[in-house]
Amino acid sequence: MYKIGDNIISSLGFTSEENFLAVKSGISGVKHYDVGGFDLPEAFMASLIDKERLNDEFAKLSSNNTCTELEKAAILSVFSANGEAQVDLSSERTLFVFSTTKGNVDLLDSLVSDKSCLHLWHTAKLISTHFGNENTPLVVSNAFISGAAAQIAAMRELQSGRYDYAVVVSVDVLSKFIISGFQSFKALSPELCRPFDKDRCGLNLGEAAATVIYARCKERVPACTGTTTVLVDGVIRNDATHISAPSRTGEGSFRALQKVLQDIPVEDIAFINAHGTSTPYNDAMEVNALIRAGLEEVPVNSLKAFFGHTLGAAGVVECIISMKALEEKLVLKSLNFAEQDFENPIPISKENHFSDKPYFIKMMSGFGGCNAVLVFATEHEK
């Protein structure tokens, strides 16, 4: 299926272009927050959306004052993405796919009178009906692979012929509940995270809303010149190793990679955008999976030091940035990486560099042993 529109709202900007330019320039949106942030007793590093700007931008779009920040970010992201795609969002031939890890669950103990907003189906329907769409939206909530899994679900719906367009919107915002949970795991880094580096010690959290709009076939892509990006394939494999720890051998990731590589020549892959959380076990697991799959010579990067771990939104945010890199024939660097100490080292991208190969692979993993792999390709217009 063909990407025809996209948007990212994050600490680095409110458009995909703002975000991509920041990443190309080596700018991170991760900052230090002192004790007391989110009413927490420990300091932390995180990447947070500018809520004042979010409210101002949403006010230009809607007078609805009842939306949560998560809902505002999602609606604004869809609206911005469709500025490029120009799809009839109200059409019965347009499907909305909503992905998140937690939605509005942080409102559970709040004074919100309508508790239906806690349900993911309610949030998804609120977003789609804002644009006049009466179809039942799909909801995908599968830990950190949610954004990737949502794109796979959209691909299957488009391939079925039931829809011509799919709007995949993914969003997560941070809260005391989320941050304290990761602090209890001792999974957070006290400094900017270092994916795949020998001194990595944990992750940074982030929040983002991201939307990618897909068309079912080339005939539905708006007439344009330049480069079109295609989602070629997507695979999910669950190894069910542990409720929160990854398989040490990377079994699920390896099996997903093995499946997509059946039809993709390794020598045509420009880069692999890994999950790359900067935790000791995740990064080592991904290295194992890549080597087992015969990808030990393909450049690898992680975007987590730019955005933090944006939870369910990560799969869409990082795909959009990687798609734009592929369109510009660019392999982005893995920020804050210096040196690795794996028994079998892999080529982590230290600097932005050129590649004219047509494919990239996106890897995602999450709690419960879920793993997803997506393959994208470029089609250059003549």
Instruction: Give, in order, the Cα–Cα distances in Å from 105 to each of 71, 109, 248, 284.
Output: 12, 9, 31, 32
Give mean pLDDT, residues 277-295: 96
Let me know whether 92 and 193 are in one domain.
Answer: yes
Let me know whether 179 and 310 are in one domain.
Answer: no
Let me know whether 264 and 192 are in one domain.
Answer: no
Element (H, E) at 208: strand 208-215
Query: Which residue has tokens 């771990």?
Result: 309
Percent of the chain exceeding pLDDT 70 equals: 96
Of 31-35, 81-85, 171-175, 218-222, minimum mean pLDDT range:
218-222
CB count in 10 Å sphere of residue 331: 26
- Bigger pLDDT: 114 vs 170: 170
Q: Helices 69-85 and 120-130, interaxial angle, to 10°?
A: 40
Q: Are β-strands 94-99 and 165-172 bridged in parallel, bridged antiparallel, or unpaired?
A: parallel
Let me know whether 199 and 214 are in one domain.
Answer: yes
Instruction: Please tell me the predicted confidence (pLDDT) of residue 330.
Output: 98
Digit-coded pLDDT (tens) for 302-349:
999 999 999 999 999 999 999 999 999 999 999 999 999 999 999 999
- 310 SS3 class: coil
- State how far the Cα of 50 lies from the Cα of 59, in Å rounded to an integer: 14
Choose one of 193, 220, 247: the last residue of a domain: 220
Q: Minimal CA–CA distance to 73: which of 171, 5, 160?
A: 171
The domain spanning residue 147 has which CATH number?
A: 3.40.47.10
Choose one of 204, 220, 236: the last residue of a domain: 220
Phi-psi region of 296 (alpha: psi -120 to 50; beta: other; left: phi over 0): alpha
**What's the whole-model pTM score?**
0.96
Digit-coded pLDDT (tens) for 159-211:
999 999 999 999 999 999 999 999 998 999 999 999 999 999 999 999 999 99
Alpha helices in the chain (DSSP H): 16-24, 51-61, 69-85, 120-130, 146-160, 176-184, 251-260, 280-292, 304-307, 314-327
Number of compact structural domains in the chain: 2
The DSSP secondary-structure symbol of 25 reads T
Instruction: Please tell me the predicted confidence (pLDDT) of residue 382.
Output: 37
- State how far the Cα of 164 lies from the Cα of 116, in Å rounded to an integer: 30
Digit-coded pLDDT (tens) for 202-238:
999 999 999 999 999 887 787 654 678 999 999 999 9
pLDDT at 370 over 70: yes
Q: Are β-strands 300-301 and 269-273 bridged in parallel, bridged antiparallel, or unpaired?
A: parallel
Q: Are β-strands 359-366 and 2-9 bridged in parallel, bridged antiparallel, or unpaired?
A: unpaired
Instruction: Please tell me the predicted confidence (pLDDT) of residue 243.
Output: 80
- State how far the Cα of 214 lies from the Cα of 217, in Å rounded to an integer: 9
Tokens read off for 238? 């669950």
Element (H, E) at 178: helix 176-184
Let me know whether 336 and 276 are in one domain.
Answer: yes
- State how far the Cα of 188 lies from the Cα of 2, in Å rounded to an integer: 36
Tell me which residue range forms the domain holding 62: 2-220
pLDDT category at 139 given cuts 50, 70, 90 is very high
Choose one of 160, 189, 220: the last residue of a domain: 220
Contact 111, 322 (CB under 8 A): no
Instruction: Please tell me the predicted confidence (pLDDT) of residue 111.
Output: 53
- State how far the Cα of 282 lies from the Cα of 278, in Å rounded to an integer: 7
